[in-house]
Amino acid sequence: MKKLFFIAIVGIMAYGCSNSSNPPAATDSQYQINENQVVFENDLENALAGIPSWSNEKTIVKMPEGKAHSGEYVSKVDDVNMYSYAFKETLENINKKLPKSVVVNGWFYSEVMNPELGFVMDINDNNKSVVWKSYRLMDDGKSENQWHEFTANFDIEETLKPGYQIKIFAYGAKKIAYFDDIKVTFKF
């Protein structure tokens, strides 16, 4: 009887442990902080299933254990895919107001020093570019073969219309780089 009780306790402990060691739930969420701020977060773990407002799933790759910044999945650019997984949405689907600025935060890992590696914000009217801005990721002496966090602030001075489309993505100039945990914040 004593032995059975012991097994039951071990069982409960094992169950409790395995529960608590589970990784936190993947985030591919959209949430509104207030009427002046909308956030889209994506850790790329569910990207292959297809997430509204995100595209270019062909760049999603599974990394060996411990190599992704979060979980197992990242977006890879190389000489075949020059553009990364992208946020793509019509402005009126994001908020009733039009954005004054966009902040892109995330993590990148480049296998080489690549001065052209950048994150791009493109706002277009039926594919005719209205705003195009690029943020260079390796300008301030960031080293290769290491994950680095970046924050790109894109101010928008141009007059926008609700039907314009915004695209946010990385450009690798045919060199290998990885991206993970992308957060896009729209400010209105």
Footprint on this chain of Ca ion (rule: CB under 5 A): 43-44, 68, 70-71, 73, 180
The least distance separating Ca ion from the CB of residue 107, rounded to whole angstroms, comes to: 9
The least distance separating Ca ion from the CB of residue 48, rounded to whole angstroms, comes to: 11
Burial class (CB in 10 A: 0-12, 13-18, 19+), 72: middle
Using the minimum distance from each CB to Ca ion, give the nearer residue, 44 or 94.
44
Using the minimum distance from each CB to Ca ion, give the nearer residue, 75 or 156.
75
The least distance separating Ca ion from the CB of residue 145, rounded to whole angstroms, comes to: 18
Using the minimum distance from each CB to Ca ion, give the nearer residue, 71 or 98.
71
The tokens of 124 are what? Answer: 């277009």
The least distance separating Ca ion from the CB of residue 46, rounded to whole angstroms, comes to: 10
Using the minimum distance from each CB to Ca ion, give the nearer residue, 69 or 167.
69
The tokens of 80 are what? Answer: 């075949």
The tokens of 179 are what? Answer: 């991206």
Say which residues have a Cβ less than 8 Å from residue 120's Cβ, sequence separation at least 6: 132, 133, 134, 135, 167, 168, 169, 170, 171
